[in-house]
Chain A
Amino acid sequence: MEFDTVTISRLITAMTLIFHIVFATLGVGVPLFISLAEFIGIRKKDKHYELLAKRWARGFVISVAIGVVTGTAIALQLSLVWPNFMQLAGNVIALPLFMEVFAFFFEAIFLGIYLYTWDRFKSKYTHWLISIPVIIGAGMSAVFISTVNSFMNSPSGFTMENGEFSAVNPFEAMLNPSTPTRVFHVLGGSYLTVAAILAAIAAFALLRKKGAAEYHKKALKMTVISMFVFSILTALGGDLSAKYLAKHQTEKLAAAEWHFETEGNADLVLFGWLNEDNEVVGAIRVPGFLSFLAHGDFTSEVTGLEATPEDERPPLIIHYLFDLMVMIGFFLLAVSFLYLVLSRFKRWDVHNKFILWLLALGGPLAMLAVEFGWLFAELGRQPWILRGYMTVEEAATKSPYIVHMFFLFLALYVVLGTLFILTLRKLFKDNPVELDLEKHYPELSKGDKK
């Protein structure tokens, strides 16, 4: 059978990352909310929040397990699937990779402690304090790994001599031009997504009207407020990222916006499609907004795709990914804003079906936005693996077995994904909130039934 090892290499990495990112995002965000809930619970002496923290933690363990094993997979695959890339770039990105493992190590230790010491300390705050290193560890892994990815987009901190890197400055490589905006956007987006997912769980539980309404309403309030805050921050991060692209990586922004000719007062293109002559059809054009997005000025000039040589242009499909990501971002902002406004007025019931359905929808959409965002970022730098230095083709393994490995990993992720859902369902179905409340906090469950 004839096949192309480069394409398979790309597919295998894409598949692993698409799967891993779900659990990585949960891994970064969930500890923050567990910690918040536990803190509020201790402060207000409110058992509902305490239970919220415990139940989130219970589900979190399962997702961490998959996050860890798929993270191990991607770490090894970097060398297995892209040996030439690692040989070259290992000289420059070893430091952040190494530090990422340290952060992961730190998180793993304290997560183990946190999960198994709920009732072991005299002061409740002691146990809560253990959640802080978990949040820091999770956040720092995201930061370090984002610097590695940023380096691939905007390599810096070295000089190239005879095909090898020399005069390496590890810190300059880590703090390359795209690092600040990317780290900001990734962290904000992860917290936003997790807030949206936890809110969706609460909203869905309220829709099913099975009891423990007070518990779910508290969860909803807390997560939707966070959703609102983080969606503003994430949008800001996204705006800064676009400004970075306009300055340093023009071909990615131009491809995302189907902006072919360099011009001032450039339009923002929403949706639409391309006809056979590569002309944009059926799109909504927002005059001048691309210039504003790119440089904060409606008249400024935005570099078009034609400035980039044809064989170095990213695929034009990334436009859809970009649009979908942005749309979902604004949807989350709008829904959480609506909830907050309605909850101010006593006359309207904020927990009406319409709002709850919107919030229930928000969780899965947020995770989709994370996937779209990453696909956009990664496809947007094709054909490069190291922008300007090494193409994906030069970096891939030449082993013919890669195609077998693809199916092996595909099977693995299908099994893991299925078991993840089954286990979570079982875990929470066999042990619903009502039962938990009755067992551990009998005084609260009575209040709920009124």
Chain B
Amino acid sequence: MSYEVIGISVLWIFLYGYLIVASIDFGAGFFAYYAKVTKQDHIINKIISRYLSPVWEVTNVFLVFFFVGIVGFFPSTAYYYGSALLVPASFAIILIAIRGSFYAFENYGSKQSNIYMFLYGATGLFIPASLSVALTISEGGFITEQNGHVSLKYFELFTSPLAWSIVGLAIVSVLFISASFITYYASRANDIPALHLVRKWALFWATPTIIMALTTMIALSQRNQQNYENMIDLWWVFGLSMAFFLIAISLLYIGKYYGVAFIAIMLQFLFAFFGYGMAKFPYLLYPQISIENSVTNPSMGIALIVAFIAGLLLLVPSLILLMRLFLFDADYAKGKK
């Protein structure tokens, strides 16, 4: 395998990692606010903040990792995406900043305030929406280049069914992933009232997730024929994704094995996400950037891969430690420690 393929695979894994951990985080913000409005916050807020407090910073790193990595492996992406995404990405930065810092202010500083909770919940849904613009424009046709000036066609973007489907898919997936994770966490903590509440949410958000996935497929087939056909060729990958979805839903429905259910959901998104990624290959931005023509020079590519392996040797044990202390430690989850 050539190093650019290794590079994009690694980055795709990290983006997937971000998708999962950030979804849990973003969705939790929304649910925390929703619970407050519907006066159910006493049931679930404790469980949400016990999980999120030690890990929110780590979540952010996954994202930074991805975009530093992609600019490192494929410097041309900085030119095209950087120029075109100035506005949407700046909004994403602002939202992330509001969310991250407000979270700290609220948790360590003042007592619960409605405005904080609202912003915390709202940003959780706007961030995936603004980040998903990058996925939309990667399908091609949304940017122009004139005299070395790359710009985004905003009208085209805002009237595109594909853009809105992707935004919709991002938001409902966030809520679905998050609800099913909190269900699992509540079951670890043996918190029955919370479990009942979030299990309902998880089941509720499953349907729009699948509907939006199909809508996005249709919109994609009209936008980028090539990408769509590649996806059809990879039908078995998406079939597996669907199968894991059904497993997860059945487990949630019968109310058993929430851990397995959440793993099934992770696999559902893993297959869907990698299937989508493979169907895009070899384009990072259709048709301007392909993987081969934009890759960094070989010595840097190899250095990055070496750094990556060394970094993983350091990170994986640390992450396992973190999870053992806060996620798989039943006493912690129950609030005894």
Q: Chain A residues in contact with chain B, CB under 8 A? A: 58, 61-62, 64-66, 68-73, 75-84, 86-92, 94-95, 97-102, 104-106, 108-113, 115-117, 120, 133, 165-166, 168-171, 397-399, 401-402, 404-405, 408-409, 412, 415-416, 419-420, 422-424, 426-427
Q: Which of chain B's residues has its CB closest to A119's CB?
A: B337
Q: Is B214 an interface residue (CB 8 A)?
A: no
User: Judging by beta carbons under 8 Å apart, are B53 and A73 in contact?
Assistant: no
Q: How far is the CB of A314 from chain B (nearest CB, A)?
A: 26
User: Judging by beta carbons under 8 Å apart, are A401 and B54 in contact?
Assistant: no
Q: Is B299 an interface residue (CB 8 A)?
A: yes
A-B contact count (CB 8 A): 220
**Beyond A170-B303, A408-B94: 5 further Cβ-contacts under 8 Å?**
A68-B100, A72-B60, A73-B93, A98-B69, A102-B314
Q: Is B259 an interface residue (CB 8 A)?
A: no
Q: Give residues 77-116 of B contacting A (CB, 8 Å).
A: 77-83, 85-87, 89-94, 96-98, 100-105, 108-110
| Cβ 8 A contact of B90, one of A75, A80, A115, A424 | A80
User: Judging by beta carbons under 8 Å apart, are B64 and A62 in contact?
Assistant: no
Which of B57, B83, B151 counts the most A-chain CB atoms under 10 A from its CB?
Answer: B57
Question: From DSSP, what is the main secondary structure of chain B's interface residues?
Answer: helix
A401 to B67, CA, bound (A): 22
User: Judging by beta carbons under 8 Å apart, are B82 and A98 in contact?
Assistant: no
Which of B54, B76, B78 counts the most A-chain CB atoms under 10 A from its CB?
Answer: B78
User: Judging by beta carbons under 8 Å apart, are B86 and A105 in contact?
Assistant: no
Q: Is B282 an interface residue (CB 8 A)?
A: no
Q: Is B5 an interface residue (CB 8 A)?
A: no
Q: How far is the CB of B294 from chain A (nearest CB, A)?
A: 9
User: Judging by beta carbons under 8 Å apart, are A412 and B78 in contact?
Assistant: no
A408 to B87, CA, bound (A): 10
Q: Is B251 an interface residue (CB 8 A)?
A: no
Contact digits for B297-337, partner A, Cβ 8 Å, 1 yes 0 no: 10110011001100100110011011001100000000001
Given A98-B307, A105-B65, A416-B101; A76-B78 close (CB under 8 Å) = no
Q: Is B30 an interface residue (CB 8 A)?
A: no
User: Judging by beta carbons under 8 Å apart, are B75 and A108 in contact?
Assistant: no
With a cutoff of 8 Å between Cβ atoms, the chain B residues found around residue A112 in the complex are: 53-55, 57-58, 322, 326
| Cβ 8 A contact of A69, one of B67, B82, B83, B96 | B96
User: Judging by beta carbons under 8 Å apart, are B304 and A95 in contact?
Assistant: yes
Q: How far is the CB of B9 from chain A (nearest CB, A)?
A: 16
Q: How far is the CB of B77 from chain A (nearest CB, A)?
A: 8
| Cβ 8 A contact of A86, one of B55, B75, B103 | B75
User: Judging by beta carbons under 8 Å apart, are B105 and A423 in contact?
Assistant: yes
A101 to B325, CA, bound (A): 23
User: Judging by beta carbons under 8 Å apart, are A399 and B151 in contact?
Assistant: yes
User: Judging by beta carbons under 8 Å apart, are A412 and B67 in contact?
Assistant: no
A166 to B97, CA, bound (A): 37
User: Judging by beta carbons under 8 Å apart, are A79 and B58 in contact?
Assistant: no
Given A79-B81, A94-B73, A165-B297; A412-B322 close (CB under 8 Å) = no
A227 to B303, CA, bound (A): 38
List 10 interface pairs A-B (beta carbons < 8 Å), by A numbering: A62-B105, A65-B104, A84-B79, A90-B78, A98-B69, A171-B303, A399-B83, A401-B87, A405-B87, A422-B109
A66 to B76, CA, bound (A): 30
Q: Which of chain A's residues has its CB closest to B77's CB?
A: A79
User: Judging by beta carbons under 8 Å apart, are A70 and B57 in contact?
Assistant: no
Q: How far is the CB of B94 from chain A (nearest CB, A)?
A: 5
Q: Chain B residues in contact with chain A, CB under 8 A? A: 53-55, 57-58, 60-61, 63-65, 67-69, 71-73, 75-83, 85-87, 89-94, 96-98, 100-105, 108-110, 148-151, 296-297, 299-300, 303-304, 307-308, 311, 314-315, 318-319, 321-322, 325-326, 337
A398 to B151, CA, bound (A): 9
A243 to B206, CA, bound (A): 64
A168 to B297, CA, bound (A): 7
Given A69-B101, A405-B90; A168-B300 close (CB under 8 Å) = yes
With a cutoff of 8 Å between Cβ atoms, the chain B residues found around residue A165 in the complex are: 297
A141 to B293, CA, bound (A): 31
| Cβ 8 A contact of A115, one of B54, B93, B318 | B54
A415 to B85, CA, bound (A): 24
User: Judging by beta carbons under 8 Å apart, are A102 and B307 in contact?
Assistant: yes
User: Judging by beta carbons under 8 Å apart, are B72 and A94 in contact?
Assistant: yes
Which of B87, B96, B109 counts the most A-chain CB atoms under 10 A from its CB?
Answer: B109
Q: 3 closest pairs, A vs B, by CB?
A: A94-B72, A90-B75, A65-B104
A32 to B102, CA, bound (A): 26
A77 to B76, CA, bound (A): 15
With a cutoff of 8 Å between Cβ atoms, the chain A residues found around residue B61 in the complex are: 101, 104-105, 108
With a cutoff of 8 Å between Cβ atoms, the chain A residues found around residue B102 in the complex are: 419
Q: How far is the CB of A64 from chain B (nearest CB, A)?
A: 7
With a cutoff of 8 Å between Cβ atoms, the chain B residues found around residue A76 in the complex are: 67, 89, 92-93
Q: How far is the CB of A186 from chain B (nearest CB, A)?
A: 20
Q: How far is the CB of A362 from chain B (nearest CB, A)?
A: 26
A74 to B326, CA, bound (A): 30
Q: Which of chain B's residues has its CB closest to A411's CB?
A: B94
| Cβ 8 A contact of B109, one of A72, A104, A170, A427 | A427
User: Judging by beta carbons under 8 Å apart, are B82 and A79 in contact?
Assistant: yes
Given A102-B314, A168-B297, A405-B86; A68-B108 close (CB under 8 Å) = no
A340 to B97, CA, bound (A): 42
User: Judging by beta carbons under 8 Å apart, are A75 and B57 in contact?
Assistant: no
